[in-house]
Amino acid sequence: MKPTQETPPEPTAAALILRLGGVDYRLIRVGRDWLLRKPDGSTYAIARTRSGMTCDCPRARYAGSGSGPCKHLTALQALGLCRG
């Protein structure tokens, strides 16, 4: 018989989970930037660029910066995890 459950995480494993709009994003620190991974596997990168912090989610890419930061960037800034 094959085991049907995933191996439980190590007792010392730590993760930051951002619950946003009913979705739990796993926050992964990459240097000074962040990756937000959704349960379905899609991942958005929040990174510092010359024009400030940006997110590469569909809303941020297609709506442009003129409509203000997306919900991901807004949430990370509100939590103090990234600046401007």
Q: Which residues bind Zn ion (CB under 5 A)?
A: 55, 57, 60, 70, 72
Q: Which of residues 14 and 62 has its CB atom nearest to Zn ion in the complex? A: 62
Strand, helix or coil for residue 47: strand
Cβ 3 to Zn ion shortest distance, Å? 36
Q: Yes or no: say if 27 and 18 are a contact pair by the CB < 8 Å rule.
A: yes
Number of Cβ within 10 Å of residue 64's Cβ equals 9
Q: Which of residues 20 and 32 has its CB atom nearest to Zn ion in the complex? A: 20
Cβ 73 to Zn ion shortest distance, Å? 6
Residue 9 structure tokens: 């995480």
Cβ 26 to Zn ion shortest distance, Å? 15
Q: Which of residues 4 and 49 has its CB atom nearest to Zn ion in the complex? A: 49
Task: Write the burial class of residue 37 (CB in 10 Å: 0-12 exposed, 13-18 middle, 19+ buried).
Answer: middle
